[in-house]
């Protein structure tokens, strides 16, 4: 079973909206064991949509169309499906009543053109899940096969709104594709999140393990680069049942962790900030942050995690040197040094009454500062060891690549990564 994804919308071609839907659908197809060899974007033009769908059907067994199911004149997916299937559009009375009920239940008048969304090609069925006002469609069709027989094909149409699309894909499209493909096995995936090593470095560490798995074919390992968030190592296993697939994944995760050690900081949806907050919480520690070049980005990421207030007391954006000296009591002198970063961490810890202080100072650009080149960053983490004397201070000076924004973003993840290593060492 091969399935293509066709994203519909001129705004995608103009770059006004980034097409994250296709990549997500592609991921779900892979996890379901459905081959997907092509993804296409096409604008809001009936002839070109039809041409694109015909090309997709000539080389695949199924096509998922995403977008173009709204009520306006440029929403042409329904019309294109009718042309491709050779079936007229018919108004579905039950769907009309449902859409009218949605609007009346919200106390809003319904524009008449919303009833266009109740139309479907004759022989097509609406997708059961309908979190918004745009119903999805399942359109089966037949075409002559190369051997003189008949090819059983299917077109799916889902809205472009991501949360609506995801519910339909997971609720109807994927199960229907698996049924058509005769897939009875379970495919499960687990992603290990890593930080601190290059892709080539990870590949070298795991080369022997990958060669071993290539020989047996199951489970598998793949690398996914995630920019400043590090590298993901995806483990995928196939088995007759979920229990067996999960057992394969657990065994393989143990093998990979043994090879990568502390490079692995989390699993699946973990982020560096969620991990360090959990480490702090489990140790009964509170945190304060002093930020210079990052200007509050560290605090923002921490506060994005639900429950961060249990641990994170707050921060000081000491962007100006005078604030470092007057508020955080950093000694007079250069402020782009590890000594200054350590003093900032000590100062914010004292000021906010936290157990752990972190700090970042440096040169984001566009020009050098204090004779230090752009990209120079100094980081510090401070805490008192359990039962020990005096604070333990970890500092790092590094040179980060990229423009101003990239330097600041890399600084955030680098500081959180240093905090994680500090906490792990503290508890060992």
Indicate which CATH number applies to the domain containing 362: 3.90.950.20
Q: What is the per-residue pLDDT across 125-168, written as a single tens digit (0 to 9) for each?
A: 999 999 988 999 999 999 888 878 899 999 999 999 999 999 99
Q: Do 165 and 42 reside in the same domain of the chain? A: yes
Q: pLDDT band at 375, cuts 50/70/90?
A: very high
CA atoms of 81 and 49, how far apart (whole Å):
9
At 329, the pLDDT band (50, 70, 90 cuts) reads very high
Whether 108 shows a pLDDT value over 80: the answer reads no
Provide the pLDDT for residue 162.
Answer: 95
Determine the average pLDDT of the residues in 297-319.
96
Within this chain, do residues 98 and 212 fall inside the same structural domain, yes or no? no
Name, in order, each residue with C-beta under 8 angstroms of 3's C-beta and a sequence gap of 6 or more. 29, 34, 35, 36, 60, 61, 62, 63, 64, 177
Residue with tokens 């204090």: 370
For residue 106, pLDDT beyond 80: no
Predicted confidence band of residue 385 (pLDDT cuts 50, 70, 90) = confident
User: Do 24 and 157 fall within a single domain?
Assistant: yes
| Nearest one of 301, 330, 326, 188 to 248, comparing CA atoms | 188
Question: Residues with Cβ < 8 Å from 193, sequence gap 6 or more?
Answer: 229, 230, 232, 264, 265, 266, 267, 268, 270, 271, 272
Q: 8 and 133, same structural domain?
A: yes
* Nearest CA-CA partner of 337 in 345, 426, 298: 345
Nearest to 67 by CA among 118, 12, 115, 116: 12
Of 132, 162, 181, the last residue of a domain is 181
Residues 51 and 168 in one domain: yes
Residues 6+ apart with CB under 8 A from 246: 188, 237
Domain count, the chain: 3
Q: Which helix (H) or strand (E) holds 97?
A: helix 93-105
Same domain, 235 and 113: no
Retrieve residue 233's tokens. 């190592």
Residues 159 and 216 in one domain: no
In the chain, % of residues over pLDDT 70 = 100
Picking from 34, 35, 47, the residue whose alpha carbon sits closest to that of residue 8 is 47
**Range(s) of the domain holding residue 363:** 272-427
Using one digit for the tens of pLDDT, what is the confidence trace for 225-277?
888 889 999 999 999 988 999 999 999 999 999 999 999 999 999 999 999 99
Domain boundary among 267, 284, 303: 267
CA distance 420 to 7: 40
**Domain C-terminal end among 267, 298, 322:** 267
| Mean of pLDDT values over 379-383 | 97
- For residue 29, the model assigns a pLDDT of 93
Closest CA to 22 of 53, 63, 58, 59: 63
Closest CA to 141 of 84, 190, 80: 84
Cβ–Cβ < 8 Å for 156, 137: yes
What would the pLDDT profile of 193-229 be if each residue is shown by its tens digit?
999 888 899 999 999 999 999 888 899 998 888 888 8
H-helix segments, 233-330: 242-260, 272-283, 297-303, 321-326
């Amino acid at each position: 079973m091969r399935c293509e994804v066709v994203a519909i919308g001129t705004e995608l071609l103009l770059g006004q909206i980034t097409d994250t839907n296709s990549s997500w659908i592609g991921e779900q197809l892979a996890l379901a064991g459905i081959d997907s060899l092509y993804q296409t974007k096409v604008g809001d033009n009936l002839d070109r949509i039809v041409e694109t769908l015909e090309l997709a059907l000539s080389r695949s067994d199924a096509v998922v169309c995403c977008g173009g199911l709204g009520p306006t004149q440029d929403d042409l997916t329904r019309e294109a499906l009718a042309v491709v299937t050779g079936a007229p559009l018919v108004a579905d009375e039950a769907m009309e009543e449902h859409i009218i009920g949605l609007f009346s239940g919200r106390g809003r008048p319904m524009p008449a053109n919303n009833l266009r969304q109740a139309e479907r090609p004759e022989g097509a069925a609406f997708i059961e899940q309908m979190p918004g006002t745009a119903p999805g469609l399942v359109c089966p069709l037949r075409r002559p096969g190369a051997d003189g027989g008949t090819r059983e094909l299917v077109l799916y149409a889902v809205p472009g709104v991501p949360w609506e699309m995801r519910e339909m894909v997971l609720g109807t499209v994927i199960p229907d594709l698996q049924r058509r493909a005769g897939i009875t096995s379970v495919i499960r995936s687990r992603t290990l999140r890593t930080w601190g090593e290059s892709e080539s470095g990870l590949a070298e560490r795991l080369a022997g393990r990958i060669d071993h798995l290539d020989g047996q074919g199951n489970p598998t390992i793949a690398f996914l680069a995630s920019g400043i968030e590090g590298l993901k190592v995806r483990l995928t296993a196939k088995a007759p049942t979920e229990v067996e697939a999960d057992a394969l994944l657990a065994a393989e995760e143990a093998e990979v962790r043994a090879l990568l050690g502390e490079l692995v900081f989390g699993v699946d949806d973990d982020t560096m900030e969620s991990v360090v907050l959990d480490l702090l919480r489990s140790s009964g520690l509170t945190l304060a942050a002093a930020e210079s070049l990052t200007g509050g980005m560290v605090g923002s990421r921490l506060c994005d995690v639900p429950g961060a207030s249990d641990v994170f007391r707050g921060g000081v954006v000491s962007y100006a040197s005078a604030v470092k000296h007057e508020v955080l009591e950093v000694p007079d002198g250069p402020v782009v040094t590890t000594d200054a970063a350590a003093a900032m961490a000590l100062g914010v810890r004292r000021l906010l009454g936290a157990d752990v202080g972190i700090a970042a100072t440096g040169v984001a650009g566009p020009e050098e500062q204090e004779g230090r080149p752009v990209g120079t960053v100094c980081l510090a983490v401070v805490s008192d060891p359990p039962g020990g004397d005096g604070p333990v201070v970890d500092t790092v000076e590094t040179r980060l690549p990229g423009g101003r924004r990239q330097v600041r973003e890399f600084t955030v993840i680098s500081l959180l990564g240093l905090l994680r290593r500090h906490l792990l060492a503290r508890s060992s």
